[in-house]
Structure 1
Amino acid sequence: MPPSKRIKTAYPGVYYRETIRTGGNGIERVYYAVYKRNGKLIETKVGRQYADDMTPARASIIRGQLLEGKRLTRKETREAEKSALSTKEWTIHSLWEEYKRRNESLKGLTTDQNRFTVHLNAFKNLKPEEITTTLVDNLRLTLTKSGRKPGTIRNILELLRRIISFGVKKGLILQSQIAVQFEMPRLNNERTEDLSPEQLISLLDAIAKTRHKKAGNMMLLALYSGMRRGEMFSLKWEHIDWERGFINLVGNDDGRGAKSGQSERIPLNDLARGVLMSIPRMTNPYLFPGKGGGKLVDIRKQADAIKKEAGLPEDFRPFHGLRHVYASMLASSGKVSMYELQKLMTHKSPAMTQRYAHLRDDALKRAAEVATDAFTQVIGETNTTSSK
């Protein structure tokens, strides 16, 4: 939306412009103050109508404080903060606190805080340049000896690396001061989960009976379409192309949609279509809205409850596991090529789809046995005729 014209208020030196409301839902006013200080004309934004609960009266009070020098403009505040940050001596702890302050809405901060408190406590008072490769190696070995899984160790080391990288990226510390190298434990990411026919029937029965309908529908969609949990969290009604029969996964900067960050689309088969059509369409743009109508960020507890009701293995992952079930069933059918499977799973690389290659091979072997049966039958019939 292009900048709108100034609109005067009843208060001198206070005006507003109309702009799109934060979140894209409607229009709101953005208030500005105009005043002179030391003979210089200053114009500064003082707040948004909804986001900052700003009114013309409040804007006028702020203008008076700015005029008297009792308050800094937003630009002056940013410059003062930047100056203070640049002269501060940073430790791992203070960098972590600054990271949280700038990313307070980031998913996973609670888990990361627990990792920091439990495992990185010995590092918190050290400056980033004091973190050596030997210290990091000792931490990795200590965690390994204590029985921590490679994935857990990797997450802890990654958090420490992320904190240091944040300081460099934001100009709080110098890259030239950092010499530490991180040796990450190798992970076996080739784990492919599957369900037996009996387990699958038990799961479908549990979903049909559960009171957690939202989680149940999401699990069905993962099973019938192979969609990722994050893609379902971001799925909006406008992303469903009913006429052409596709689900559009729109990737953009806020992480919405396809994991690849690119625009992807997957076919809408009859089973997935049935799930989507069973969901009541309300005024909310999301198919699976979270609290307050916003984007859903977590549904693990409800999904785990359904998993328990179905009697599935404890280590089975409700969404990612069902995505694997979807891919495994397609591969083992023998009717879908590895290229087609890669496209259906929206894998960026063929290597990611190779974990299902053995299932495809098994299907081809079964198909080849048809020739054995056919030849055996012909040979048997020939021998019978010859013996007469």
Structure 2
Amino acid sequence: MASIKKLANGSYQATVFIGRDSKGKQLRKYITKPTMKECKAAARELEQEIEEKRFINVDNVRMAAWMEKWLELNKESLAPSTFLGYKMYVEVHFNPYFGQLKLSQINEIHIKEYMNAKLKELSSTTVRKHMLILRRILEDALKHKSPCKDIKIPNKDDYKPTVLSEDDFKAIHDSVKDDPVMGLRDEGVILLAAWCGLRRGEIFALKWDDIDWKKFTLRIDESRSISEEGYIDKKPKSKNGLRTIVVPEYLIRVLELYRKSLKKITERIFPIRPDHFSSYFAKMVKTRNLPSIRFHDLRHYHASWLYKQGIPDHYAAQRLGHDIHVLKGIYQHLDMDVKSDIDNLIRSNFDEKKDKPFAQTVEK
């Protein structure tokens, strides 16, 4: 139970026992508030945190030590690639700036100075990611006292993905088809993205037994993801990622020919690192003077193709491994608005020459 006393300046101070140090010495935390009521409430809140084992004594903990502990505590709940991303933010960005400060010393000025410094060298979207991660790290330690809680973080940059035209895609497809050395492999990878809408990690996790050669279907149930141990196969984050999709017959034949061309059959269809293929694709696009796109834009191409064919949103979402609401967000990014198409359809189906306004009829 906290003890409370009135100070000479008229405020109230509560003393709360928070544990013992390594030598058995009692540790106390002092809370000062302007009124007895506020002081009691704050002391009760702290005692509740201690009782429920939510309290972390951070008065003398340096930010570097806490971030290392935070990564350790959250490692199992994060996807391997997400964990590596967070670890990079901590080591490359947060530690050089905050590492030697004690958690109790960090204030809003430090946070704002960091954010402004990063905005000079990084995009608004990237700095927003920094701030969201930093906010989470500090709130886990300081709860409602986090210096991030009242700071407005940057908005995302306007994102305009590249939408390939049919001619652009044909140029890319023809280029790999004509390659006598890597043509079958490259064509298979590119068509899985552009004709099936698979993510890069999904393509490079595919195994030969995922293909049903008679039904022309493909099972997607894993994705290649980077981790501390290198690339690993992992299950999709949500059930939407688990799916079986129909594959065009031409692509099935390409995969058959590719399999026959291999000297050694491996379990995975494309036993190479996903990031290596992305680099290879970027170099190929540049050296062959092809439309300047990222590999992921081929998946966008498939999303736009589904939209243009009038494929129902629920079917398209299932095929792409998305939630329906996420799919609609993608359509918006690709400047494909269902409402505007419907508006134009209504306009074109009402002919003013046949149906004159009532007011004009009365005047005559």
Name the TM-score, length of structure 1 as normaliser.
0.56
- Structure 2 residue runs without a partner (length 5+): 1-56, 226-231, 355-364
The correspondence for 2:285, drawn from 300, 307, 321, is 307
Determine the C-alpha separation between the residues in 2 that align with 1:131 and 1:328. 47
Determine the C-alpha separation between the residues in 2 that align with 1:371 and 1:302. 49
* Structure 2 partner of 1:231: 202
| 1:269 partnered with 2:251 | no
The alpha-carbon distance between structure 1 residues 185 and 330, as it changes in their structure 2 partners (threshold 3 A), is same
| 1:151 partnered with 2:125 | yes
CA contact (8 A) 1:221 1:275 kept: no
Determine the C-alpha separation between the residues in 1 that align with 2:343 and 2:206. 39
SS at match of 1:279: helix
* Structure 1 partner of 2:167: 198
CA contact (8 A) 1:112 1:159 kept: no
The alpha-carbon distance between structure 1 residues 155 and 365, as it changes in their structure 2 partners (threshold 3 A), is closer
How many residues align structurally? 277
Determine the C-alpha separation between the residues in 2 that align with 1:200 and 1:286. 26
- Structure 1 residue runs without a partner (length 5+): 1-85, 377-388
SS at match of 1:248: strand
Determine the C-alpha separation between the residues in 2 that align with 1:129 and 1:275. 61
Higher relative contact order (CA 8 A, sep 6+): 2
SS at match of 2:101: coil
CA contact (8 A) 1:92 1:127 kept: yes
CA contact (8 A) 1:115 1:156 kept: no
CA contact (8 A) 2:221 2:243 kept: yes
* Structure 2 partner of 1:74: none
Q: CA deviation at 1:331?
A: 1.1
Task: Spell out, residue by residue over 1:190-210, the C-alpha distance to the aligned partner (whole angstroms, 9 max, x if none).
Answer: 634212333222211332345
Determine the C-alpha separation between the residues in 2 that align with 1:255 and 1:186. 33
* Structure 1 partner of 2:156: 187
CA contact (8 A) 1:216 1:303 kept: no
* Structure 2 partner of 1:47: none
Alignment of 1:1-388 (within 5 A): 90-95=61-66, 106-107=80-81, 109=84, 113=88, 116-117=91-92, 120-144=95-119, 146=120, 148-161=122-135, 180-181=148-149, 183-187=152-156, 191-209=160-178, 214=185, 216-250=187-221, 256-260=234-238, 262=240, 263-280=242-259, 282-290=264-272, 296=274, 298-312=276-290, 314=292, 316-319=293-296, 321-333=297-309, 335-356=310-331, 358=336, 360=338
CA contact (8 A) 2:219 2:243 kept: yes
Determine the C-alpha separation between the residues in 1 that align with 2:339 and 2:239. 31
SS at match of 1:266: strand
Q: CA deviation at 1:268?
A: 2.0
SS at match of 1:225: coil
The alpha-carbon distance between structure 1 residues 122 and 188, as it changes in their structure 2 partners (threshold 3 A), is closer
Determine the C-alpha separation between the residues in 2 that align with 1:297 and 1:101. 26
Give the RMSD, CA atoms, in angstroms: 4.5
Q: CA deviation at 1:367?
A: 6.9
* Structure 2 partner of 1:78: none
Determine the C-alpha separation between the residues in 2 that align with 1:367 and 1:148. 43
The alpha-carbon distance between structure 1 residues 289 and 340, as it changes in their structure 2 partners (threshold 3 A), is same
Task: Spell out, residue by residue over 1:344-365, the C-alpha distance to the aligned partner (whole angstroms, 9 max, x if none).
Answer: 2222133532543736567667
SS at match of 1:343: helix
Q: CA deviation at 1:265?
A: 2.7
CA contact (8 A) 1:90 1:128 kept: yes
Name the TM-score, length of structure 2 as normaliser.
0.59
- Kindly provide the amino acid, as one letter, of the partner of residue 225 in structure 1: C
Determine the C-alpha separation between the residues in 2 that align with 1:259 and 1:220. 24
